Amino acid sequence: NAGVTQTPKFQVLKTGQSMTLQCAQDMNHEYMSWYRQDPGMGLRLIHYSVGAGITDQGEVPNGYNVSRSTTEDFPLRLLSAAPPQTSVYFCASRSRQVSYNSPLHFGNGTRLTVT
Amino acid sequence: QQQVKQSPQSLIVQKGGIPIINCAYENTAFDYFPWYQQFPGKGPALLIAIRPDVSEKKEGRFTISFNKSAKQFSLHIMDSQPGDSATYFCAASSDFGNEKLTFGTGTRLTIIP
């Protein structure tokens, strides 16, 4: 049981390049989301999905695209990377059956540097 | 605009002491208040959560205190250990169960032996 798996762990991009951050979960969770973590800013929600085929914007969606074709996968696309997108990106998932103790399960992050 | 304000930014406490991390919010629609713990190189993990109709919740050495009228909540760690050294994030959301968690800016806690 791998939980939430993010690839790659590290990536360096030049300004203008595109790439896709991969996220997969094996817990059959309906909810999936992407956060970015920056020093002094905490974690900020980029995009989220409540199920296959359904996505919505979070707090900081500009410059990022997502799609959800399967329950398991929720890739994050940077179409034209820019230095302000340098950050650590976390994917998270959660079951739709929530209680006050049901957690968001986070991956271990992708550290992205844009030069 | 930071909807959940967290303090302090960093905290150093001797082993056995009781570190306290505070959070304040403005949005009265928030109805779910979790705390997450993050170790270096790892994603955050849920530590403990509280709902607004409860003033205190304990799980092991971790306690959340909640003051609805002041719109504040705090995390206390009893008998702190070096293994508790981590970054702690408070968070909040409205419409309990939705995905839109708003996180605080984090507190880097160091427990010295």
Secondary element (H or E) of residue B93: strand B86-94
Mean pLDDT over A60-80 rounds to 97
| B84 SS3 class | helix
Interface touch B105/A50, C-beta < 8 Å = no
Tens digits of per-residue pLDDT, A3-62?
999 999 999 999 999 999 999 999 999 999 999 999 888 999 999 999 999 999 999 999
> Is residue B1's pLDDT more than 60?
no
DSSP string, B33-81: EEEEEE-TTS--EEEEEE-TT-SEEEETTEEEEEETTTTEEEEEETT--
- CB burial of residue A97 (10 Å; 0-12, 13-18, 19+): exposed
A48–chain B nearest CA distance, Å: 7
CA gap A96, B3 in Å, rounded:
25
Nearest CA in chain B to A111: B41
